[in-house]
């Protein structure tokens, strides 16, 4: 029975960080089934990424990092996503934070330099903790229940965040919270992981991306410095989302799920070439119907590649981009990725759904693409309103 995907070989002309990512991909792919089965966190993958300098890929070169923009980061995430999407998802959130730090006028320079130095020197990941049980995703509107109370000695934070991707390994959180001031403000606070009153509750037991460690993090009167306030504004000032964060997030999410689809495609092609039913006497790959379905898969992947690459390149080159367009690209790429894996399943019968083969895992993982902000319905409604002028 076929159990391995086709290997993506590095080319001598590729940038060094792409070469390193491709070399690590084989190792990550070999570890992925066990981590998926056990829902265990792949700490060793991040040690490898740190050793190869890939954790600091989006840290500015002036601060010792790779200085990569969205295009090169998306390429790395696609490679890692093809091997182990749970690792890629955690890595993407870390990359986003450092890109935002590098481009934001609101991040205190002292803190952004400190976090850059830490991730250049070791395994020091950061992610935003935003989603709450009652609030859901902040993209849908509403104020968080998590409260930051200002005191003479520091901020005191209380609340609960769910779906906190990478929770087992994070060193820093940017926490979405509201203040208890007379005039409420809302925004991001930088909170070191592991402070007294912080608890990681292992609630993540999901259909897909099982190794992403997207657990619940609770804060019970957690104290941190007053000058760790990052970007806190009046609620109405958040009606226009942070452009860098929202656009890069959609590019990176798209790249990860496209990577999953490519892993499914590679396994499928190998299966179809090697599977010779007794009644056919030839590989399944010789059937016109099979060739047509695989051609459809190739079409969707070609569209995905162009969308991701061109949009990320435009972002890096400073073109004025529309958040609406970036949301549509995320919707298109992730749905193309889902259809690729569904088409692969249609050609493999019971083999594709067997847990002895990776296609079943790729299917569970790729379905998660529809859950990420912005969800498909929100994107369509927004595009419709823009077209209708309402």
Question: What is the tens place of the pLDDT at every residue in 203-232?
Answer: 999 999 999 999 999 999 999 999 999 999
Per-residue pLDDT reduced to its tens digit, 47-80: 999 999 999 999 999 999 999 999 999 999 999 9
Asked if pLDDT for residue 202 goes beyond 50, the answer is yes
Per CATH, the architecture of 128-236 is what?
Beta Barrel (2.40)
pLDDT bracket for residue 139 (50, 70, 90): low
Per-residue pLDDT reduced to its tens digit, 355-386: 999 999 999 999 999 999 889 999 999 999 99
Cα–Cα distance, 175 to 224 (Å, whole number): 12
Judge whether 178 and 134 are in contact, CB under 8 Å.
Answer: no
- Give which of 88, 100, 97, 17 is closest to 258, Cα–Cα: 88
Report pLDDT for 320: 83
Asked if pLDDT for residue 257 goes beyond 90, the answer is yes
- Give which of 57, 119, 61, 65 is closest to 92, Cα–Cα: 57
Range of lowest pLDDT (133-142, 145-154, 235-244, 318-327)? 133-142
Model-level pTM greater than 0.75? Answer: yes
Asked if pLDDT for residue 4 goes beyond 60, the answer is no
Please give the structure tokens belonging to residue 172.
């820093």
Asked if pLDDT for residue 10 goes beyond 60, the answer is no
Residues whose CB falls within 8 Å of the CB of residue 203, separated by 6 or more in sequence, listed in order: 162, 215, 216
CATH class of segment(s) 243-388: mainly alpha
Cα–Cα distance, 38 to 210 (Å, whole number): 8
pLDDT averaged over every residue in the chain: 94
In terms of Cβ atoms closer than 10 Å to its own Cβ (0-12, 13-18, 19+), residue 306 is exposed
Cα–Cα distance, 42 to 125 (Å, whole number): 14
Q: Which fold has domain 16-124?
A: Butyryl-Coa Dehydrogenase, subunit A; domain 1 (1.10.540)
In terms of Cβ atoms closer than 10 Å to its own Cβ (0-12, 13-18, 19+), residue 292 is exposed
Report pLDDT for 327: 94
Asked if pLDDT for residue 134 goes beyond 90, the answer is no
Residue-range domain boundaries for the chain = 16-124, 128-236, 243-388
Asked if pLDDT for residue 5 goes beyond 50, the answer is no
Asked if pLDDT for residue 9 goes beyond 60, the answer is no
Please give the structure tokens belonging to residue 7.
């290997």
Asked if pLDDT for residue 140 goes beyond 70, the answer is no
């Amino acid at each position: 029975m076929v159990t391995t995907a086709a290997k993506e070989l590095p080319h001598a002309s590729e940038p060094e960080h792409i070469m390193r990512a491709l070399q690590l991909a084989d190792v990550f792919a070999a570890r992925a089934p066990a981590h998926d089965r056990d829902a265990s966190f792949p700490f060793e993958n991040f040690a490898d990424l740190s050793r190869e300098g890939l954790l600091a890929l989006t840290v500015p070169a002036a601060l010792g990092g790779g200085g990569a923009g969205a295009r090169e980061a998306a390429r790395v995430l696609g490679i890692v996503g093809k091997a182990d999407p749970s690792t890629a998802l955690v890595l993407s959130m870390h990359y986003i934070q450092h890109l935002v730090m590098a481009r934001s006028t609101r991040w205190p320079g002292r803190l952004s330099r400190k976090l850059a130095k830490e991730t250049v020197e070791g395994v020091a990941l950061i992610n935003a903790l935003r989603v709450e049980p009652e609030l859901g995703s902040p993209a849908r509107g509403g104020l968080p229940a998590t409260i930051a109370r200002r005191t003479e000695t520091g901020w005191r934070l209380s609340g609960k965040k769910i779906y906190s991707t990478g929770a087992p390994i994070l060193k820093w959180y940017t926490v979405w919270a509201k203040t208890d001031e007379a005039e409420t403000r809302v925004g991001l606070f930088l909170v070191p992981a592991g402070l007294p009153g912080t608890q990681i509750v292992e609630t993540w037991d999901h259909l897909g991306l099982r190794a992403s460690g997207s657990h619940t993090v609770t804060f019970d009167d957690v104290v941190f410095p007053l000058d760790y306030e990052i970007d806190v504004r009046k609620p109405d000032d958040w009606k226009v989302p942070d452009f860098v964060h929202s656009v890069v997030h959609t590019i990176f999410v798209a790249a990860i799920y496209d990577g999953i689809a490519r892993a499914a495609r590679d396994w499928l092609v190998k299966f179809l070439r090697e599977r010779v039913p007794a009644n056919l006497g030839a590989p399944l790959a010789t059937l016109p119907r099979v060739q047509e379905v695989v051609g459809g898969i190739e079409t969707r992947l070609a569209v995905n590649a162009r969308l991701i690459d061109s949009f990320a390149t435009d972002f890096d080159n400073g073109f004025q981009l529309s958040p609406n367009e970036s949301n549509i690209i995320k919707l298109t790429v992730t749905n193309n990725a889902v259809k690729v894996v569904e088409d692969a399943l249609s050609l493999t019968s019971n083999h594709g759904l067997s847990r002895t083969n990776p296609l079943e895992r790729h299917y569970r993982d790729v379905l998660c693409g529809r859950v990420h902000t912005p969800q498909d319905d929100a994107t369509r409604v927004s595009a419709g309103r823009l077209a209708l002028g309402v």
